[in-house]
Amino acid sequence: MARLSVNVDHVATLRQVRGGNYPDPIHAAVIADLAGANGITVHLRQDRRHIQERDVYLISHIVKSHLTLEMAPTEEMFAVAKQMVPDMVTLVPERQQELTTEGGLNLLEEPQYLENYINRLQKEVGCVVCLFINPDEEMVKNADRLKADFVELHTGAYAEAKDIEEEIKQLRQIERMAHLGYKLKLGVNAGHGLNYHNVANIAKISPIEELSIGHSIIARSVFVGLERAIKEMLELIG
């Protein structure tokens, strides 16, 4: 059974629209914890468009469940991770113009830099390191070569499929890459674009250990409340 990590970035997005102090992602993280979520995910972007250092710090000290910090592989973010000491760091690509993360890391670019960065996170911060990648054989194999602990398979192409044939094709690709990661002794997570309509098939892929889901849960919570939205998602992936 896959675990659920609730991404609370979009609670912070609402807060930042008005520049005030509510709604507070800390409050959302506590509700998620109490509702049965297995973890909390936050993405501290370099432009600080939603989550702030204060949010990461407080969540790491208040919430009892597993904390995943998504971040770009930069020296600035390394310093943050070293200060916050999350349970897991998921390295993601960032472009300032993007609305949300558009694809996985290209592990063929600066592989020596990435390998050193991963090693430093593991040894100096003491956290598990996950790489957010497209469900591609070369990327999965390179994650293993770079000595990452986990991969998170980008499920965007599956979530955005225009017809059932394309959806099945993308689902099968994710399944193959999940099994490849498992064979290479990598932990396997998945996320991006997952919602109440498409999550069940991904959750059935046995090597996948954790699903990172944010936008659809926060959107659903507008109508039913955050606790119920999380419990409904847990039922679907359970």
Residues with catalytic annotation?
43, 70, 192
For 13, the token pair is 């997005």
**Cα–Cα distance measured from residue 183 to residue 161, given in angstroms and rounded to the nearest whole number:** 27
